[in-house]
Amino acid sequence: MSARVVRTGDGVAVGDWPPHPERAAVLEARGALLAWDVLTGGAAPAARVHDTARAADWLWEVYGPEAADGILGDAGTVAVGTGGPPDGPAAGGPGAATLDAARTVAHLDWAEAWWPASAIAGVPALDPAVLRAERAVATAVVEHLLDDEDATARALRAVTADPGVEGLSARLAALAEDYGVVVPPAVRAGRAEYALAAGDADRVDGVTVHSGSDAVDWALVPAGAVDAAAEARWAVVRRGGETSLDVAVAAGPRPEVRLAARFDRVDVPLDRVDGLGRHVGRVPVPPTVLLLPPDRRRLTVYAPDFAAPTPEPDPDAPARRAALLDYARSRSGAPSATWTERTAGRR
């Protein structure tokens, strides 16, 4: 496979950068950023090299010696891949191990930020203990090319428990001993389940004047705060001469995240999780809300400590979300799946 090399005043660009943040698994290396598009499945990353002198020490491990020479030289395209030189690191060689580990670290960072856990769509939640342990083990393999000299020790200190996964636990224990870090014992508490709104959940007391639902923008909430496939539901309700706005959205595996919603100019704190596993909120609104035209009856769910609501929805977002849900559903049995993905939803 060939990748285009573009030279600018700021450095060197190799290959096509993932088109959207939710598809980009990124690794910050010395002198460069590497990025894999999680949907395309390519082994070789795109790169944005901003310091060729620092990147020269390790680029050969990711792209192979000949491709690295082309990137650092004057080539307009280079052959990149995993089939051995000149297409990439030789199979079984030191470069291949580095490339695999670099991709794993980047992929786990992506999963922590974007994994679309959804009971509705059948995407199980990831176990954070397994993710942090696997990331620490992979980080140790690529620490020599990272911009953080203490990356492995930092990753080990973030491990919250022995993951209890055969193979991974042994590698983690050996690494922790080398670095003098004590890993907490495995936690065997049952996996928290999150319920779905269904049946009588949609019934409200009073008279519903207007109601509807809107998709949740993943960029506005941390991963796991809401069910990734759920829509947020809203209703303008008259009760005893007063008008209120009711909002509900199915919680994900991290229901403790503080959420809010914006409907036109009205902000609604979603300050509790009800018995059906939904983030819910209710605020009084003036009767003029009843007169809002349809194009202004739009609900935006967001995490106040994470992002601000956007003025207009992205028309391409639903298709992009659907593609990522399909991808996540396929990962448990994929040959390239991480330990974290293979054990998702099993504990």
- pLDDT at position 281, please? 97
Claim to verify: residue 119 and residue 163 sit in the same structural domain: yes
- What are the structure tokens assigned to 341, written together? 């993905």
Mean pLDDT rounded to a whole number for the chain = 88
Claim to verify: residue 40 and residue 171 sit in the same structural domain: yes
Q: Which of 148, 179, 210 is the last residue of a domain?
A: 179
d(CA 57, CA 44): 17
Indicate the pTM of the whole model. Answer: 0.86
Claim to verify: residue 254 and residue 282 sit in the same structural domain: yes
Mean per-residue pLDDT, 172-192: 80
- pLDDT at position 8, please? 82
Of 340, 341, 322, 324, the closest CA to residue 332 belongs to 341
Mean per-residue pLDDT, 228-247: 94
Claim to verify: residue 174 and residue 209 sit in the same structural domain: no
- At 85, the pLDDT band (50, 70, 90 cuts) reads very low
- At 198, the pLDDT band (50, 70, 90 cuts) reads very low
Sheet with 207-215: strands ordered across:
207-215, 231-239, 242-250, 278-284, 272-273
Domain presence at residue 324: no
Helix (H, G, I), strand (E, B) or coil at 325: helix
155 vs 313: which has the higher pLDDT: 155
Q: Is the pLDDT of residue 92 over 70?
A: no
- At 187, the pLDDT band (50, 70, 90 cuts) reads low
Claim to verify: residue 157 and residue 249 sit in the same structural domain: no
Domain presence at residue 111: yes
Claim to verify: residue 66 and residue 166 sit in the same structural domain: yes
Residue range of the domain that includes 302: 199-317
Range among 66-80, 86-100, 158-172 with highest mean pLDDT value? 158-172
Mean per-residue pLDDT, 260-288: 94
Sheet with 77-79: strands ordered across:
24-29, 32-37, 46-49, 11-14, 2-8, 77-79
Domain presence at residue 90: yes
Q: What is the largest CA-CA distance in the chain?
A: 76
- pLDDT at position 339, please? 96
Neighbours of 179 (CB within 10 A): 14
- What are the structure tokens assigned to 144, written together? 């020599």
- At 91, the pLDDT band (50, 70, 90 cuts) reads very low
What is the per-residue pLDDT across 117-161, written as a single tens digit (0 to 9) for each? 999 999 999 999 999 999 999 999 999 999 898 999 999 999 999
What is the per-residue pLDDT across 218-228, written as a single tens digit (0 to 9) for each? 999 999 999 99
d(CA 247, CA 270): 8
Provide the percentage of residues in the chain whose pLDDT is more than 90.
72
- pLDDT at position 312, please? 78
Claim to verify: residue 99 and residue 245 sit in the same structural domain: no
Compute CA distances 339 → 22, 43, 65, 258, whole Å: 21, 18, 30, 30
Lookup result for tokens 């000949």 = 66
Domain presence at residue 341: no
Domain presence at residue 50: yes
Q: Is the pLDDT of residue 87 over 70?
A: no
Claim to verify: residue 167 and residue 224 sit in the same structural domain: no
Claim to verify: residue 175 and residue 216 sit in the same structural domain: no
Whether residue 340 contacts residue 111, with contact meaning beta carbons closer than 8 Å, is answered with yes
- pLDDT at position 73, please? 83
Q: Is the pLDDT of residue 90 over 50?
A: no
Helix (H, G, I), strand (E, B) or coil at 112: helix
Neighbours of 29 (CB within 10 A): 25
Helix (H, G, I), strand (E, B) or coil at 5: strand
- At 192, the pLDDT band (50, 70, 90 cuts) reads very low
Range among 35-39, 191-195, 310-314 with highest mean pLDDT value? 35-39
Domain presence at residue 34: yes
Domain presence at residue 52: yes
Mean per-residue pLDDT, 174-189: 85
Q: Which amino acid is at 76?
A: G
Helix (H, G, I), strand (E, B) or coil at 326: helix
Claim to verify: residue 153 and residue 235 sit in the same structural domain: no
Domains of the chain: total: 2
Claim to verify: residue 145 and residue 227 sit in the same structural domain: no
Out of 17-21, 25-29, 182-186, 309-313, pick the least confident.
309-313
| DSSP code string of 66-110 | HHHHHHHTT-SEEE-SSSSTTSSSPTTSHHHHHHHHHHHHHHHHH
Domain presence at residue 76: yes
Mean per-residue pLDDT, 156-175: 95
Claim to verify: residue 172 and residue 222 sit in the same structural domain: no
